[in-house]
Amino acid sequence: MLITLQKRRLQLRNPLVTAHGSTTDRHIIEITARDGDFHGHGEAAPLPGFGLETFDEALAALEQWATNPELLPESPAALSGAATAVENLEKSRLRRSDPKGAIAVQALVGTPEISLVETQISDALANGYLAIKMKVAATDTSTDISRVQAAAALLGSKAALRLDANGGWSMRDALAVLSSVDLSHIDLVEEPTSNPLDWRKINEETGVNIGADEQLTNHLQVGMLLELRAAQTFVLKPSVIGGPLATRRMAGLAAENGVDILISSFLDGPIGLRSARDLALELAPNKIHGLGTAPLFVDELPADVQPIDGYLRCS
């Protein structure tokens, strides 16, 4: 197997502001694994602040793997990209076609400005999205309250509102924001605090569904979250949890324990989005997934990963 690596940079149209900081672009390592006439693609793209290896560390791990393809990298983003390329190579050997169908995807709102929140949500509704995820916990609590109230008022019953705190709220902050709005408008809150012990309490006090995301780092951590009954939804990012096979395993554990799953982008490039889309079709075709991120980039990504009327389609 011959492995080649290509570096790529994708520029965001607007900075995405989260509890981990502001992101303006994505540095991606595109991976091609070849065996004769067959090939498979993957990508690795660590994001600062999310507990992964650095870009240079991922690149070094992949360069080492290229010299010894039998030994997959150990660092999360590099492993996910390599495992995706290997699975796609095997699909090429077996001449398996991509799945057919369509999945609903959510729009992502990351601006801290209330006027821009309103503009982006109005645009998302006009473009047919059935769910909007808004980043919270990157500013003060009063601003978050105003943003959530504005979003809920605009959405009404037209689309679901999901919040993602990236672990940035305290318990007090979380309850203050959630108590400020009619909770029937809130579909999901991802990682409200950094401590999963808080999540069950927040769920019990508010009734809002809690999503685990960054905490889904390995099977030991997943087991702990299941034992605590900390989350009602697992938000699975194939590009950081080990690729397609690891995603299927984690989805299986969730199903065995009555936990829903969503498949989500890690601000992925086209290869990562395509792989995640196919997994969403395979594992949870009737959910609204976090894969509507292609329009966030200045670069025009391929048509098959661009949402149309709130859906990604495979044909």
Model confidence, pTM = 0.95
Outline where DSSP puts E strands in 19-64. 21-35, 38-44
Residue 17's pLDDT is 84
Candidates 215, 244, 263, 216; CA nearest to 79 is 244
Whether 27 shows a pLDDT value over 90: the answer reads: yes
Question: How does the average pLDDT of the chain come out, rounded?
Answer: 94
pLDDT digits (tens, 9 = 90+) for 44-55: 999 887 778 999
In the chain the domains, ranked by start, together with CATH numbers, are 2-94 (3.30.390.10), 101-314 (3.20.20.120)
Note the pLDDT of residue 99: 79
Conformation bin of residue 17: beta by default, left when phi > 0, alpha when psi is -120 to 50: beta
Tell me whether strands 160-164 and 186-190 are parallel, antiparallel or unpaired.
parallel
Give the tens place of pLDDT for each residue, 185-237. 899 999 999 999 999 999 999 999 999 999 998 888 899 999 999 999 999 99
- Check whether 126 has a pLDDT greater than 80: yes
pLDDT tens per residue, range 234-276: 999 999 999 999 999 999 999 999 999 999 999 999 999 999 9
What pLDDT sits at residue 50? 79
Summarize pLDDT for 68-121 with one digit per residue, the tens. 999 999 999 999 999 999 999 999 998 887 778 999 999 999 888 888 999 999
pLDDT of residue 197: 95
pLDDT score for 252: 96
- Average pLDDT of span 124-144: 95
- Return the pLDDT at 238: 96
State percent of the chain over pLDDT 90: 87
Contact 276, 264 (CB under 8 A): yes
Q: Encode pLDDT of 146-163 as tens digits.
A: 999 999 999 999 999 999
Which residues are CB-contacts of 48 (< 8 A; sequence separation ≥ 6)? 20, 21, 23, 54
**Collapsed DSSP state (helix, strand, coil) of residue 23:** strand
Among 255, 245, 284, 238, smallest CA distance to 105 is for 284
pLDDT for residue 170 = 97
